[in-house]
Chain A
Amino acid sequence: MLKGSEELFIIYTGNIPLSRKYSYFWTMEIFTSGKLTKVKSRHEPGVSKQTGFASPATHYLEPTIDLNQELVVNRDATFFVRVDGNGFKEHNILDRDVLIIDRSLSRNFDDLALIIQEGEFKIKCIPFGFSEEEFTVWGIITYIIHYAR
């Protein structure tokens, strides 16, 4: 916008009302004429360099909660799957939900599992005394992510 323009010379020093034409410069500071050298972003968070008392939380800082750490135990065996349609309503799984599936878990009675039957993916609870002859377990569902809005 300002490139190569020698005439445009604005120094914004405070509350001087600007003409409507240049109102979009309100948030900028322009230091030299013609050449745009430095534009401060309004959104840049400032970090105070002044000395003084350290934050009382200094020794208590912890990393923010990371869902991957909470919901994914075995990363190399975990897959995400998107549900399409309301066919699994009986398991409280609805359209557009995302399933977190851990393939490494052992198949226990009553686990909710993504299975393969007749070449198709289905969702089933593992029955008592289950053997892989009835159907193949693809992985155990550990979490169901549901968008609430």
Chain B
Amino acid sequence: MIALVDCNSFYACCEQVFRPDLLGKPVVVLSNNDGCVIAANKEAKAITDIPMFEPVFKIKDQLIAHKVNFFSSNYTLYGEMSQRVMNILGMFSPKVEVYSIDEAFADLSGMRNISLNDYGHLIKETISKNTGLPVGVGIAPTKVLAKLANRMSKKIPDNNHVFVIDSEEKRIEALKWCKIGDVWGIGRKHAERLKNIGVFNAFQFTQLPLQWVRKEMTVVGERTWRELRGEPCHEFVMQPPPKKGIGTAKSFGIKLPDLERIEEACAYYISEVSEMLRAQKSCATYVQVFIITNYHNNVDKQYSDSRTVTLDIPTNDTFNLISAARKALVEIYKPGYRYKKVGVNLTGIIPQDYVQGNLFHQPSKLNNLKLIETFDAINRKFGKATISSGLVGTRVIEWELIKKERSPRYTTQWKELLKVGK
């Protein structure tokens, strides 16, 4: 059996753990740079005229009118709280697959002589007692069914956030309850097609002939079909596969017109992503850079462009990557616009050990490798961007993200501890 444990309204709940005055009140969390609403608790979702993923400046009046509490995203806090949840889950199962920041699969196979329903409740209560975060637990023979059980645990109040699919009757009941669009692994397009042929719930889907599913929805659909019938197809993934592309693009705190500042931001993002690249022992072959003006502004002229540079030799050296990105940026930059965002993307990622030189160039010499290792070691010890390429500059503040309403980093910064007093 497999359990899917996920946190309810995770970001908002992380904030509420340290703010008891907000319990039972609407809370939303904004994206980086306070751009749009990315998370809301159930009280905030109940206010139906707050659209998710809308730019904040468009809905700010509504938020204030409904007395919605809003926070800038505090990923340091959310990441640390997530770690706690996953560690606690690790006490209940030898195999935990962290699927996202707020959900994980846990392998419960081989558990005998215990009630899985009780075990689910124990998991739920321990996590909520130890961290203050509410979770839902779905237990079933396969991952897709566990996901479905988890959905049922929340949507049907009687289940009290724990639901176990451990019999044929329960499986069929769950399948009939689940709308086809809500099945994990069935996207919107496939859901529409299935509805057109009269398949409205998961049960009807499992009654389709396998040949049809395989032909129309490829092997991905077939796996979902089998999993819904109780046949495990998705293995436990303990180590995430190396990423195929690493990128970052954030809006500036202010609109930047001049190349110099944009170069600094670009170099800063490159150093961020190249550090990730090195952490997974890979090299990138292509560097893509793009710039965008603010499309929500009707007054300014608009412009956007992107350019990809192919590196002579795949590398993860910050300095090589920065100079490549700079070449691209200089090509696409046009003066006279007020830029909102610059983004970088590293693609063509291959393992570090497979890098081949060519006739004219050799892979980075050992020397540079040592330099970069030292670089990373210093930044790990003394904090992000303690040392960086000269191009990054020292004016990070000017284009660094706006996080006006960020809560304190209660669990990672000694100076930002939760304060209690009268």
> Which A residues are closer than 8 A to B by beta carbons?
74-77, 79-85, 87-88, 95, 98-99, 103-104, 114, 116, 119-123, 136, 138
Tell me if B417 is interfacial: C-beta within 8 Å of chain A: yes
A sample of 27 inter-chain contacts (CB < 8 A) reads A74-B130, A75-B87, A76-B84, A76-B87, A76-B130, A77-B129, A77-B130, A77-B131, A79-B410, A79-B418, A80-B411, A80-B417, A80-B418, A81-B420, A82-B419, A83-B419, A83-B421, A98-B417, A103-B131, A116-B23, A119-B21, A119-B23, A120-B20, A120-B21, A121-B418, A123-B420, A138-B20
Min CB–CB distance A146 → chain B (angstroms): 15
Tell me if B56 is interfacial: C-beta within 8 Å of chain A: no
By a CB distance below 8 angstroms, the chain B residues around A103 are 129-132
CB nearest to B416 among chain A residues: A82
| Docked complex Cα distance between A85 and B22 (Å) | 23
Min CB–CB distance A79 → chain B (angstroms): 7
Find out whether the CB atom of A83 lies under 8 angstroms from the CB atom of B87. Answer: no
CB nearest to B126 among chain A residues: A104
| Docked complex Cα distance between A119 and B411 (Å) | 21
By a CB distance below 8 angstroms, the chain B residues around A75 are 87
| Docked complex Cα distance between A41 and B87 (Å) | 43
Tell me if B422 is interfacial: C-beta within 8 Å of chain A: yes
| Docked complex Cα distance between A77 and B132 (Å) | 9
Tell me if B1 is interfacial: C-beta within 8 Å of chain A: no
Find out whether the CB atom of B20 lies under 8 angstroms from the CB atom of A119. Answer: yes
Tell me if B309 is interfacial: C-beta within 8 Å of chain A: no
As a 0/1 sequence over residues 30 to 58 of chain B, the CB contacts with chain A under 8 angstroms (1 = contact) are: 00000000000000000000000000000
Tell me if B88 is interfacial: C-beta within 8 Å of chain A: yes
Min CB–CB distance B133 → chain A (angstroms): 11
CB nearest to B419 among chain A residues: A84
Find out whether the CB atom of B420 lies under 8 angstroms from the CB atom of A121. Answer: yes
8 smallest CB-CB distances across A and B, nearest first, come from A84-B421, A87-B422, A77-B130, A85-B421, A82-B417, A119-B21, A116-B20, A76-B84
CB nearest to A99 among chain B residues: B420
By a CB distance below 8 angstroms, the chain B residues around A88 are 421-422
By a CB distance below 8 angstroms, the chain A residues around B131 are 76-77, 103
| Docked complex Cα distance between A136 and B24 (Å) | 14
Please name 4 further chain A to chain B contacts, defined as beta carbons within 8 Å, in addition to the given A81-B419, A116-B23, sorted by A numbering.
A77-B88, A80-B417, A85-B421, A103-B131
| Docked complex Cα distance between A76 and B418 (Å) | 16
Select one of B130, B410, B420 contacting A104, CB under 8 A.
B130
| Docked complex Cα distance between A122 and B421 (Å) | 7
Contact residues of B: prevailing secondary structure: helix
> Which B residues are closer than 8 A to A by beta carbons?
20-23, 83-84, 87-88, 126, 129-132, 410-411, 414, 417-422
| Docked complex Cα distance between A103 and B414 (Å) | 19
CB nearest to B25 among chain A residues: A119
Find out whether the CB atom of A87 lies under 8 angstroms from the CB atom of B418. Answer: no
Name which of A84, A87, A88 has the most chain B CB atoms within 10 A of its CB. A84
| Docked complex Cα distance between A79 and B419 (Å) | 12
Find out whether the CB atom of B421 lies under 8 angstroms from the CB atom of A87. Answer: yes
Find out whether the CB atom of A76 lies under 8 angstroms from the CB atom of B88. Answer: yes
Min CB–CB distance A34 → chain B (angstroms): 22
Min CB–CB distance B118 → chain A (angstroms): 19
Find out whether the CB atom of A83 lies under 8 angstroms from the CB atom of B420. Answer: yes
Min CB–CB distance A18 → chain B (angstroms): 33
Find out whether the CB atom of A82 lies under 8 angstroms from the CB atom of B418. Answer: yes
Find out whether the CB atom of A82 lies under 8 angstroms from the CB atom of B420. Answer: yes
Find out whether the CB atom of B21 lies under 8 angstroms from the CB atom of A84. Answer: no
| Docked complex Cα distance between A114 and B411 (Å) | 16
| Docked complex Cα distance between A120 and B419 (Å) | 11
By a CB distance below 8 angstroms, the chain A residues around B22 are 119
Find out whether the CB atom of A81 lies under 8 angstroms from the CB atom of B417. Answer: yes
| Docked complex Cα distance between A14 and B286 (Å) | 56
| Docked complex Cα distance between A98 and B419 (Å) | 9
Min CB–CB distance B150 → chain A (angstroms): 22
By a CB distance below 8 angstroms, the chain B residues around A74 are 130
| Docked complex Cα distance between A143 and B419 (Å) | 16
| Docked complex Cα distance between A11 and B417 (Å) | 52
Name which of B84, B129, B421, B422 has the most chain A CB atoms within 10 A of its CB. B421
Min CB–CB distance B138 → chain A (angstroms): 22
By a CB distance below 8 angstroms, the chain B residues around A136 are 20
| Docked complex Cα distance between A26 and B422 (Å) | 55
| Docked complex Cα distance between A104 and B22 (Å) | 23
CB nearest to B22 among chain A residues: A119
Min CB–CB distance A109 → chain B (angstroms): 19
By a CB distance below 8 angstroms, the chain A residues around B410 are 79
By a CB distance below 8 angstroms, the chain B residues around A138 are 20, 132
Find out whether the CB atom of B417 lies under 8 angstroms from the CB atom of A114. Answer: no
| Docked complex Cα distance between A123 and B422 (Å) | 10
By a CB distance below 8 angstroms, the chain A residues around B83 are 76
| Docked complex Cα distance between A104 and B421 (Å) | 23
CB nearest to A136 among chain B residues: B20
| Docked complex Cα distance between A28 and B20 (Å) | 58
Name which of A74, A79, A138 has the most chain B CB atoms within 10 A of its CB. A79
| Docked complex Cα distance between A121 and B22 (Å) | 12
| Docked complex Cα distance between A104 and B122 (Å) | 13
By a CB distance below 8 angstroms, the chain A residues around B417 are 80-82, 98
